[in-house]
Amino acid sequence: MKTLLLVAGLLLASAASAQTTPTAAALTKRLNHLMHRPGETDTEIRAVLEGCHFTQIIRKHRLDGKQEATAFQVSHRKNGADWAVKSDEKVEFELKLGVEWSQVTSLTYAPAQDEKTQQRYYEVKIRRERPSKDGSGTNSTTLELPLYTTDERVARDVVQQLEQVRRQCGE
């Protein structure tokens, strides 16, 4: 009987995770579309939603096949957050920033303006806070995601969807 209950529980858990996967995939696709700056060819910003971890990737590609830099890669992962920096023959600069949704304390959006084009867009801010080791306060990290749209409803909807993912991971 215990085995049957365990198998039923595992089947229900896998069905629940299968239901959230398409939602996360659709949200990731939507985010990546909205974060693409119109007319930008050498720089990309991407989001990756994997389980209860969110990663932002900012990548600047090398143009015209220039291979002047030496390859390097540095990364760090600790206490639910991670970062990595890399460069090689194809990528001039890549920065990855990641956080666990359970540590995100707020999700907000605000209007912003592109310095190059003067175009308006919205920026989503994902804030993570953790108590400092010495107990003197908190350490915080804020990821900023550009949403190249002038429609506030789109920004609000994306933040609401991200908030749903955050709540699911906090349970």
Find residue 48's DSSP bridge partners: 55
Specify the pLDDT at position 16: 39
Nearest to 58 by CA among 100, 16, 91, 9: 91
pLDDT of 140 over the 50 cut = yes
Are 111 and 122 spatial neighbours (Cβ–Cβ below 8 Å)? yes
Give 68-84 pLDDT, tens digit per residue: 667 888 988 887 788 89
Each residue of 27-72: pLDDT tens digit? 999 999 999 988 888 889 999 999 899 999 999 988 766 666 678 8
Q: Residue 127: how many CB atoms within 10 A of its CB?
A: 16
The answer on pLDDT for 139 being more than 90 is no
Assign 135 a pLDDT band (cuts: 50, 70, 90). confident
Indicate the burial class of 126 (C-beta count within 10 angstroms; 0-12, 13-18, 19 or more).
buried
CA distance to 75, 87, 93, 152, 166, per residue, from 72 (Å):
10, 5, 10, 40, 33
Q: How high is the pLDDT of residue 61?
A: 87
Q: Residue 112: what pLDDT?
A: 96
Is the pTM higher than 0.75? The answer reads yes
Q: How far apart are CA 56 and CA 118, in angstroms?
A: 24
pLDDT higher for 19 or 87? 87
> 122 phi and psi, to 5 degrees?
-115, 150
Give the pair of three-digit tokens for residue 105: 């304390």
Q: Check residue 1 and give its pLDDT.
A: 42
